[in-house]
Structure 1
Amino acid sequence: MASSRQFKLAKESELRVEVGPDMPLRIRLFSGTAEIFGTELPPSNWLSISPRSKIAVFTWNGATIELDGVSEVEYVADETPMVSYVNVHAILDARRAQAKASHSNNVDSLQGPRVIVVGPTDSGKSSLCKMLLSWACKQGWKPTYVDLDIGQGYITIPGCIAATPVEMPIDAVEGIPLEMPIVYFYGHTSPTANGDLYKVFVKELARTLERQFSGNAEARAAGMVINTMGWVEGLGYELLLNAIDTFNCDVVLVLGQEKLCSMLKEVLKTKPKVDVVKLHKSGGIVMRNQKVRQKARSLKIREYFYGPINDLSPHSNIVNFSDISVYRIGGGPQAPRSALPIGAEPVADPTRVVAININRDLLHLVLAVSYAKEPDQIISSNVAGYIYVTDIDVVRKKITYLAPCPGELPSKLLIVGTLTWLEG
């Protein structure tokens, strides 16, 4: 075990740390003030940072940071884009205040800023989102965080489109506090599996949030911060434009890609109220290959059941095949071939909800538990949570599954996609 060591940071510099794959690392603020992704470190308290985490401890005025444990990479950087990020925050803050004032003055109520953070894979999108959210919370706002990144899944698990109000700066260890998340289970980690369904869920989520904002002036003024996928070409680019439009975004922050920025400026110039702003990505960004990204997904699912620092105890339960119904969204032809024009091929219906037979194909899959009462409500209903199928006894017609808490499932309707996990 490496002994504890200290790093003295000059003002506006940061300590960048990559934690190894096996052991957590402890960190504490020895003196001065510092923050991790916009959340201030408490003085003198040791924090455990989970394995494979990558963090940047930034100080505005100078600090001494102490580390204890093994890390793969640790160094101090004095060139960071933080000043430009905090300048963006100041502009957003002024817009929130303006929106709030317009509401209390009974003039035409303005909406608060709707910020969408875009950029290629590994450009620091989720880190910037956390900073903007945490800084807004420090000013007393309760912005809404929207996560459209099905590949990683920062609000619950990968394969989901989700949103949650953020009322406190985001905890460096625990992550985003979940009070009342709205979650739609897309069920795949790439939009190519069903691009039309992805759009449908984006629309459902936007509609739900608009309803909430219409009855909550405070949330409307606080606005939203939207995280997106790192796929910014082809279908990925199309889905990006669709999200900007669907959520009625007025600030587009482009991280680290000139080409994407100029493309968006060109296509959005007809919308005078949309600001497209290019920002530099942090020099601490680490490019991850497919294997590392897959591992991060797996860890995210594990975290859902066991907690970020293994502090939760999930429950194993058994249920009869007859007590549940499992559905897949998408697939099945829209019309029989006989009803189509000559030579036309039947097209799979991307939003068709199909009941599936329960068999061993479900082993090691993560299923979502829907709040829907009937199958035709599945697409418009958000999910209560997830279970992980650990065993299927076809002879006795029983499923063994892992759930985050004991007791009966809140619903008998389960949704399956292609999200697998090998516990280990």
Structure 2
Amino acid sequence: MASARQFELAKESELRVEVASDAPLRLRLLSGTAEIFGTELPPGNWISAPPHSKIAVFTWNGATIELDGISEVEYVADETPMVSYVNVHAILDARRGRAKSSQASGTDSSQGPRVIVVGPTDSGKSSLCKMLLSWACKLGWKPTYVDLDIGQGSITIPGCIAATPVEMPIDVMEGIPLEMPIVYFYGHTTPSANGDLYKVLVKELAGTLERQFSGNAEAKAAGMVINTMGWVEGLGYELLLHAIDTFKCDVVLVLGQEKLCSMLKDVLKSKPNVDVVKLHKSGGVVLRNQRVRQKTRSLRIREYFYGLSNDLSPHSNIVNFTDISVYRIGGGPQAPRSALPIGAEPVADPTRLVAVNINRDLLHLVLAVSYAKEADQIISSGP
């Protein structure tokens, strides 16, 4: 759909738009108030929508929105789960307030809420995280955003787990701020490649954040919002429970799956301080096939190096192969079955460092540069 057009939004309704692949699309607020994933729209100013994105312009009290450009889909929805989302935000805000009061009184219960958002693929987890972060920032909090979704990656590139403080409502165009990220490079887009390594990196990231919180009372009271993968069965479910335990989460928000919510309530019932809450997913959530997800992943990698608007130029530096060492974590040669006890299976050390020969097989692969001074410190140092 092209050319400028206006949409009248009633109270508690939203305009849902799927942005076309490479065509520009702008929008602006003509009257009333509205927000995109918790970030308010400035009145009268044009906002550019990122290509390939899906956005929802929500209004609490009514608004008039103008679109200019090409979109694949656009429609107004009157039924949304936003009231339940903002109710969750209000409860989290109260917990942050109690944590801050506890700090002032010198008591031990000064930890803010640690919220983990879980659910199957394409259930709106990332969008809900953005809302909770932006709403918290509007009230003066500075929560920490943790992204454990290695398949897509909203802080850096896919294949990483990362965390970053969020101090202002998230910019519609720029996305998650990248001024102070903590990043651990996993190197694959699925945890099935090395589930044990994924657990090790999650534990490293959690430990780093704990040390930061111990010296930053403000960040500790603001707490965390944790995004997760959409794989919620088998190994994915095991890693989900590991993340809940490792980050000491006290609020589990389950989007769009009754079975997962029931399973988590059952397994976490021994932890009375953990609340499991089921939320409805937005009707604007669109299921993406494997081809679309792969394309989105490639765009995220390109955006990391070239910028959202192709305004960055990657820095090139030529080094001799003799000056660098390349390692793969996990894998490596296994003992033959004949050398193992009867009935035993060969097992590779999931965190073993294996030197990689530098050859043409490394072309078009993304490698992480480690700050480790010794090879055995690579995992704990991060990229």
Shorter-chain TM-score category?
Answer: over 0.9
Aligned equivalents of 2:362, 2:252: Cα separation in 1? 40
Deviation (angstroms), 1:338: 8.4
Aligned equivalents of 1:129, 1:366: Cα separation in 2? 27
Matched, 1:316 2:316: yes
Can you give the 5+ residue segments of structure 1 that lack an aligned partner in the other structure? 384-424
Q: How does 1:239-318 map to 2 (within 5 A)?
A: 239-318=239-318
SS at match of 2:301: helix
Kept after mapping to 2: 8 A contact 1:157/1:300 = yes
Higher relative strand content: 1
**Aligned amino acid, residue 100 of structure 2:** K
Q: How does 1:155-166 map to 2 (within 5 A)?
A: 155-166=155-166
SS at match of 1:231: coil
Q: How many pairs does the alignment contain?
A: 383
Aligned equivalents of 1:270, 1:333: Cα separation in 2? 41
Matched, 1:184 2:177: no
Q: Which residue of 1 aligns with 2:208?
A: 208
Aligned equivalents of 2:338, 2:179: Cα separation in 1? 50
Over the aligned positions, Cα root-mean-square deviation in angstroms equals 1.4
Kept after mapping to 2: 8 A contact 1:327/1:355 = yes
Kept after mapping to 2: 8 A contact 1:333/1:349 = no
Matched, 1:34 2:34: yes
Aligned equivalents of 1:336, 1:203: Cα separation in 2? 32
Q: Which residue of 2 aligns with 1:132?
A: 132
Aligned equivalents of 1:69, 1:79: Cα separation in 2? 26
Q: Which residue of 1 aligns with 2:48?
A: 48
Deviation (angstroms), 1:63: 1.0
Deviations 1:108-136 (A, max 9, x none): 23310000000000000000000000000
Aligned equivalents of 2:232, 2:270: Cα separation in 1? 21
Runs of 4+ in 1 over 6 A off after TM superposition: 334-339
Q: Which residue of 2 aligns with 1:3?
A: 3
Kept after mapping to 2: 8 A contact 1:144/1:224 = yes
Matched, 1:72 2:72: yes
**Aligned amino acid, residue 223 of structure 1:** G
Deviations 1:320-359 (A, max 9, x none): 2122211110012576878743553431110011111100
Q: How does 1:94-109 map to 2 (within 5 A)?
A: 94-109=94-109
Can you give the 5+ residue segments of structure 2 that lack an aligned partner in the other structure? none
Return the TM-score normalized by structure 2.
0.97
Return the TM-score normalized by structure 1.
0.88
Kept after mapping to 2: 8 A contact 1:333/1:347 = no
Q: Which residue of 1 aligns with 2:196?
A: 196
State, as a whole percentage, how many aligned pairs show the same letter.
87
Deviations 1:236-279 (A, max 9, x none): 00000010000000000000000000010111000000000000
Q: Which residue of 2 aligns with 1:397?
A: none
Which deviates further from its counterpart, 276-285 or 361-370?
Answer: 361-370
Deviations 1:174-217 (A, max 9, x none): 00111211100000000100000000001001111111111111
Q: How does 1:367-382 map to 2 (within 5 A)?
A: 367-382=367-382
Deviation (angstroms), 1:38: 0.3
Deviation (angstroms), 1:309: 2.0
